[in-house]
Amino acid sequence: SAVISQKPSRDICQRGTSLTIQCQVDSQVTMMFWYRQQPGQSLTLIATANQGSEATYESGFVIDKFPISRPNLTFSTLTVSNMSPEDSSIYLCSVEWTAYGYTFGSGTRLTVV
């Protein structure tokens, strides 16, 4: 399956600041997905990122808060902007690898203080 490298693995940030999370895939993929996983909870899709076009955001998530870049077929970034403690979560990137099955990165554990 695809190998996904996600950075940073964890961070503690001050409220009001921004954090950019990087996701590097070892193969070219069409779609990359960004998920949020709040403590002890399930996975919620933030947005889908296609190379060469703007990301598609799910209900409840907006580009100003979670800007996404997708400069090529192997890389994407998610920025969490103007952070508050409510943004403390695990953020995961994933790609479709087997037909419809996903491969996930190891996640970024974000704590906002």
Partner 1 sequence: GENVEQHPSTLSVQEGDSAVIKCTYSDSASNYFPWYKQELGKGPQLIIDIRSNVGEKKDQRIAVTLNKTAKHFSLHITETQPEDSAVYFCAVLNTGGFKTIFGAGTRLFVKA
Residue 49 CB, nearest distance to partner 1 (Å)?
12
- Work out whether 101 is an interface residue with partner 1 (CB under 8 A): yes
DSSP state string for 24-78: EESS--SEEEEEEE-TT--EEEEEEEETTSPPEEPTT--TTTS-EEEEETTEEEE
Quote the CA–CA distance of 75 and 25 in Å, as a whole number.
Answer: 6
- Pick left, alpha or beta for residue 23 (phi over 0 → left; psi -120 to 50 → alpha; otherwise beta): beta
Which range binds partner 1 by CB under 8 A, 1-9, 11-19, 61-69, 72-80?
1-9
Measured from the CB atom, the residue of 14 and 100 that comes closer to partner 1 is: 100
Which range binds partner 1 by CB under 8 A, 12-20, 63-71, 73-81, 105-113?
105-113
- Work out whether 98 is an interface residue with partner 1 (CB under 8 A): yes
Q: Which two tokens stand for residue 41?
A: 């909870």
- Work out whether 67 is an interface residue with partner 1 (CB under 8 A): no
Quote the CA–CA distance of 26 and 10 in Å, as a whole number.
Answer: 21
- Work out whether 21 is an interface residue with partner 1 (CB under 8 A): no
Which positions touch partner 1 (CB under 8 A)? 1, 4, 6, 31, 41-43, 45, 48, 92, 94, 97-98, 100-107
